[in-house]
Amino acid sequence: MQDTIFVLLISMVLAASSGARAGESAEAPAGEAETPSAAVDAPPPDRGSIIKSIEFEGNRKFKDHVLRQRLGFELGDPLDAFLAEGGRLTIEEVYRKIGFAFVNVSLDRDGMSRGDLLYRIDEGTRIQIESVSFVGNEVMDSGTLEKVVKTTERKWLLWPFYYTEDAVEEDLDRLREFYYDHGYLDYKITANTEFTEDRTGVRVTFVIEEGPVYRVADIVLSGNTHFTSDELRTMMTLREGQVYLKPTAVRDAREIARLYREIGYIDAEVHQRPRFRPVTGQNMVSVTFDVVEGGRFRIGRIDVTGNEETQDKVARRVLDEYDFTPGNWYNGRIAPKEGGGLMERYVQRAAVAEEVLIRPVTPESGATDRKDVRVDIKEGSTGMIMPGVGVSSDSGVIGRLIYRQRNFDITDWPDDPSGLLTPWKYFKGAGQSFSVTLEPGTEYSQYYVEFVDPYWRDIPVTLDVLGRSYERYRESHDEERLKGYVGFEQRLKGRWSRSIGFRAENVRIDDLDYDAPLEIIDVRGHTALFGVRFGLGETALDDRYRPSRGHVLNFEYEQVTGDYTFGILEGSYVRYFTIHENLLGHKTVLAGKVRAATIVGDAPPFEKFYGGGTGPYGLRGFEYRGVSTRGLQTNVASPRYKDPIGSDWIFLAGAEVTVPVISDNFGLLFFVDSGTIDTGRYRVSLGTGLQIMVPQLFGDVPMRFEIATPVLEDDRDKEQVFSFSAAGMF
């Protein structure tokens, strides 16, 4: 008896809900009766009945099998009047979500009692948005509000946009959030819908009462004991007298919490809330920041778990470098208790793991001033043999065969020499990198072996050993290089690093064109070079691999001897700014770059500077090596300056904005590149593009597709509108 009453009550509620929804969409025309729910008066099915058939009539938009999949039950299931009625409402909802606002679905009563479910569907017309307008908005112009809402007359400028109640409700929420975020706390926003007589179109009008804008009367901090209120105010963006902007206040609360977490208050939380001030004639709010400090903890024991092949030291060396060690304050900013911190990403990169979780745990000793740390490593695939074909706007089509072990261990030799036949079973676990690359190409071919140890002798020193051979088909000749390189980079405490590197290289120039310039003819044959490079750099970034704030400064000088004696002096500076951050933490980042280099002495053409393309001396909008001093043709009657011979100095400056779309892994680019060399005028190009990050395949290396147009150029420059690269950050 109780079950029967429950089913009847649910059926009545659902029927009422359906009727109310239809009434909200539009009133029924005069003389047109409202279709009753067919299940209300249906005789109850026999106890133990099953669903024998499910049929549909009148459905043109959806095929039968599509609707059956949406019902949630199938043939042979127990027959239940409640589920059958729910199926009717589900079908109506499926139609409404794509613009059939007046759809009506009925359920055959007689057939249901026998186990035969027949849904009769009156689809009605699919309603297009004819216009979207705003009334009552005085401060915010309609053009701005059109960018806030998603409802529009056209979708992707070509296809019609269809009306749904849900879409309009979501737009109301967007408008309300937009006004609240801009200090309009007394807004009133509703939507009116006016359907055409034939019910094929609708005009949507958003009615807005903006109300006054509210300003900050004062800022109150409560609950803070470790920092004074004045100390916290110095790091806040919100100020008294300013318009109350919710995103700014939320960002300030987040930064205060991060400040606390950085010094051991791992549970710290900060909440902001505006409170209206009841002063006649004044539209002011007091903004209160409630600080919940929680306890302060030092790091106790650190346990590394889940790593079967990766050695513990791979994770511990990263933690040590950032002072995340026993006895220090638990830095909850770089290793937050909820996860997603820098330390997890850095350890994951070092161990080439599928996932890394770092969590504070209560010590077994019961100490109340400490937290043990658990570093959970979910190991992934670290070695690969990858054949393939690549395409680059700078290097043409390249065939590729790569063997790479990104978690290499040079000391893990097999006990039996036969193990060398299956090296992928050995030589792994120490966080080193070893790769063998074969890349024959149409314009560029290279073959190299490289070994990198990011913590040589278990200290923050990177050892890089490289043996490389490559051939490049230049404009007027072929260039071949055979190179050996050994380099060390020491990361000092703080933000500075220093480096030294040694190279020995043999360069061969041959297959000259008949009109090759004299500068190329003079270096035909073999040239031996030996160089030592010194570097000094500062890295002050919020995230080493995906920066959004901070800067990178580098200076390098290489002294070269051999068949030529000269020096190469280079310097670069890149600055990152976060110009917008949404509530999901996705950041719009502005990056500015300056790079300059010069030759000290007399260097051969293949050691000089060439601008253009996407490399270190890239100028998008110009070909690779398309910005260069040109050499005069030889052996022709009317010689001209044609092929590049390199420049003795180069200067580049640019700016780029990366706007995330959907997530940080997919973004739009807007950039300006500029630069000059020792000949010609100053060059400038403007462009846009896409940046795609696929961490599962390429780590933190983005793929970029860019289109750029030169707006200032020299007559001898070579242009290139489209460029593609898979390289480091700007």
pLDDT grade, residue 16 (50/70/90)? very low
Q: Name the pTM for this structure.
A: 0.73
The rounded distance, in Å, linking the Cα atoms of 263 and 693 is 32
Reference 563, options 507, 645, 519; nearest CA is 507
User: Is pLDDT above 60 for 15?
Assistant: no
Q: Which residue has the tokens 């003795």?
A: 648
pLDDT grade, residue 155 (50/70/90)? low
User: Is pLDDT above 80 for 727?
Assistant: no
For the residues 141-158, what does the mean pLDDT come to? 84
Give the tokens for residue 458: 């278990």
- For the chain, domains (ranges, CATH) are 2-122 (3.10.20.310), 128-209 (3.10.20.310), 215-292 (3.10.20.310), 298-379 (3.10.20.310), 383-453 (no CATH), 454-726 (2.40.160.50)
pLDDT grade, residue 580 (50/70/90)? confident
Give the SS3 label for residue 480: strand
For the residues 35-49, what does the mean pLDDT come to? 52
Q: Express each pLDDT in 374-406 by its tens digit.
A: 999 999 888 878 786 666 666 667 777 888 898
Q: Tell me the backbone φ, ψ of residue 521, rounded to 5 degrees.
A: -60, -40
Which residues, at least 6 apart from 75, have a Cβ–Cβ distance to it below 8 Å?
51, 52, 53, 54
pLDDT grade, residue 280 (50/70/90)? low
The rounded distance, in Å, linking the Cα atoms of 678 and 608 is 11
Give the tokens for residue 441: 């190409």
Q: Express each pLDDT in 216-260 by its tens digit.
A: 999 999 999 999 999 999 999 999 999 999 999 999 999 999 999
Q: Which residues pair with 552 in a beta bridge?
A: 539, 574
Q: Which pLDDT does position 586 carry in this prediction?
A: 80
Residue type, 102: F
The rounded distance, in Å, linking the Cα atoms of 516 and 631 is 8
Q: Express each pLDDT in 669-697 by its tens digit.
A: 999 999 999 999 999 999 999 988 765 55
Quick one: DSSP state of residue 364? Answer: T
Residue type, 528: A
Q: Which pLDDT does position 667 carry in this prediction?
A: 87
Q: Express each pLDDT in 407-416 by its tens digit.
A: 999 998 888 8
Average pLDDT in the chain: 88
Give the tokens for residue 499: 């480096």
Quick one: DSSP state of residue 664? Answer: E
For the residues 63-76, what does the mean pLDDT come to? 92
- Highest average pLDDT, of 23-27, 156-160, 277-281, 453-457, comes from 453-457
Q: Which pLDDT does position 695 carry in this prediction?
A: 59
* Residue 688 burial (C-beta neighbours within 10 Å; 0-12, 13-18, 19+): middle
User: Is pLDDT above 50 for 313?
Assistant: yes
